[in-house]
Structure 1
Amino acid sequence: MGLEQRVEELERRVGELEGERRAERRAVVRQADLWALTRLEEQFAELGIEDGGVLFAGSVRLPAGEQYGWQMGFSTDDLLADDGSEAADRLAALGNPVRLRLLREILGGRRTATELTALEGVGTSGQIYHHLRQLVAAGWLHAAARGRYEVPAGRVVPLLVALATTRR
C-alpha cells in the first residue's frame, strides 16, 4: 500500500471516529436537554406501546394564586383513531381573539361578567355573553354562581398547552 493510500485510509478512520464521538455527544446532549422525551420513550417501551404517543403536563401558579398540577398522555393510535369532531368544536371555540382574551383575563383573576364587560376592545355585554356561552359549551369555562366564570381545574393546563402550541 502506497503512502497516498495509507493517508486516505487514516483520514477515513479518523473521520469515522470523529463521527462516532459526535453521535455520542449528541446522545448525551439529547438525554440532558430532552429529559422528558427520553423518559417518555422509556415509559412507552415499558408499557409495550410501539407507536409512541404524546404526553403533556404542567405545574402552574396563576396570578390570582391558584396552583394546578396536571398531566395527560395519549398513544398515537388513540389520537389518530379519534374522529375529531369534539376536538374541532373545542379548537373552534379558541379560534377567536376575543375569546382567547377573555380566557386569559379569567386565568388572570377577572372572573365576573361585570369585570369582563369593563375591558376595552372586547365588545358589548351581549357579545361578551355570547363568547362566554361558547367557551362554556366547549368546556373551556365553567359558569359559577352570580355571573362568575372559571376555567375548570382539569382544563387550565390543557388550555395553556393549546396556547403554547401556537408559539414558534
Structure 2
Amino acid sequence: MDLEQRVTDLERRLEALEGPQRTGPRIDGGDFWALNGLKEQLSEAGVADGGVLYTGSVGLPTGEQYAWQMAALTEDLLGGDWTTAAESFAALGHPVRIRLLREILGGRRTATALAELEEVGTTGQIYHHLRQLTATGWLHTPGRGRYEVPPGRVVPLLVALATTRP
C-alpha cells in the first residue's frame, strides 16, 4: 500500500472517530481569510490607504446570539473627530464599568441585581457608572431599572477587550 493511500485511510478513520473536520475559514491565526477579503474589496473599490474590518459571531451565556461586522476606511478613521472615541474609551477605562458590562452580558440586567455584586460600590456609585456607560452608548435602558448592551455594541465591546490581549 502506498503512502498516499495509507494517509487517506488514516484520515477516514480519524473522521469516523471524531466526526467531520472543519473545512471552513480558520480562526486560529493561520489563515488571513478576512484580511484577504478586505484587501480584495478595497482594491476593487480603488482605495489605496486601506481599511479596518472587525467582525464577530457571538453566543452569550444568556442564549442571545449576535452576528456583526464593520469596515472603516483608514482615511475616514484618521480624518474623523476622535473626541467621541476618547469619551467612549474613557467609559470603558474603569474596572467597575468593565465588570458591570460583563455582568450585564452574562444576564444581570437590573440595577438591583448589579447592586448585589461585591466590590462594585454603593448603589449611587453603580448608578453613576451605569449613566456613564449609557451616555457613551455602551448600554441602553429598555425599561426602568433594566440595562442591556445594544446589539450593535456587543461585538465591538468584545473586540475592544480582545485588543488588550498580548
TM-score range for the pair, normalised by the shorter chain length: 0.7 to 0.9
Q: What RMSD, in angstroms, separates the aligned Cα atoms of the two structures?
A: 1.2
The match for 2:144 is 146
Report the TM-score when normalising by structure 1: 0.80
- Give, in whole Å, the separation in 2 of the partners of 1:119 and 1:50: 49
Distance 1:66 1:89 in 2: 28
**Per-residue deviation at 1:34?**
1.3
Matching of residues 104-143 of structure 1 within 5 Å:
104-143=102-141
- Shift of residue 146 of structure 1? 2.6
| SS of equivalent residue, structure 2 residue 62 | coil
Tell me which residue corresponds to 1:48: 46
- In structure 1, distance between residues paired with 2:31 and 2:109: 38
Q: For residues 77 and 141 of structure 1, what CA distance do their matches in structure 2 show?
A: 29
1:11-160 map, 5 Å: 33-160=31-158
Distance in 1 between the 2:41 and 2:159 partners?
Answer: 21
- CA displacement, residues 15-49 of structure 1 (integer Å, 9 cap, x when unaligned): xxxxxxxxxxxxxxxxx621211111111111111
**Match in the other structure for 1:11:** none
Secondary structure of 2:120's counterpart equals coil
How far apart are the structure 1 equivalents of 2:38 and 2:82?
Answer: 25
- Out of 144, 163, 166, the residue aligned to residue 164 of structure 2 is 166
Distance 2:43 2:122 in 1: 53
Equivalent pairs: percent with the same residue? 70
Q: Runs of 4 or more off by more than 2 Å in structure 1?
A: none
Other structure's SS at 1:33 match: coil
User: Which is higher, the Rg of structure 1 or of structure 2?
Assistant: 1
Within 2, Cα distance between the matches of 1:107 and 1:145?
16
Please, which moves more after superposition, 153-162 or 33-42? Answer: 33-42
Q: TM-score, normalised by structure 2?
A: 0.81
Aligned residue identity for 2:146? R
Consecutive unaligned residues in structure 2, runs of 5 or more:
1-29
Paired residue for 2:10? none
Mapped to 2, the partners of 1:110 and 1:83 lie a distance apart of 34
Deviations 1:48-68, CA, capped at 9 Å, x for gaps: 111100000011011001101
